[in-house]
Amino acid sequence: MAGAGAVGCFAVSAASYVPFIVIALWILPRRAPAPASERFDRPVPFTGLREIAREPYQRGALLVLLASTTLCGPLITFCPVLVKDALQGNVSQFSIAVGAFGVGGLLGAIGLLFIDSAGDRRRLISWFAAVFGVIVVLAALNPWAWGLPALLVGAGMSMSVCNTSANSLLQASASPQRRGLTVSLYMIVLRGGIALGGLLTGVSASLLGIRPALLINGALAVVAAIVIARGWLRSPLPA
Q: What is the pLDDT of residues 140-178, one digit of tens each?
A: 999 998 899 999 999 999 999 999 999 999 888 887 877
Q: Is the pTM of this model over 0.85?
A: no
Helix (H, G, I), strand (E, B) or coil at 9: helix
Find out whether 98 and 125 touch, Cβ atoms under 8 Å: no
What CA–CA distances, in Å, run from 88 to 14, 81, 105, 142? 29, 9, 26, 13
Would you identify the CATH topology of the domain 78-234? Growth Hormone; Chain: A; (1.20.1250)
Find out whether 145 and 95 touch, Cβ atoms under 8 Å: no
Lowest mean pLDDT among 56-60, 98-102, 218-222: 56-60
Q: Tell me how many degrees the CA angle 76-72-52 measures, rounded to the nearest 5.
A: 125
183 burial via Cβ count (<10 Å: 0-12, 13-18, 19+): middle
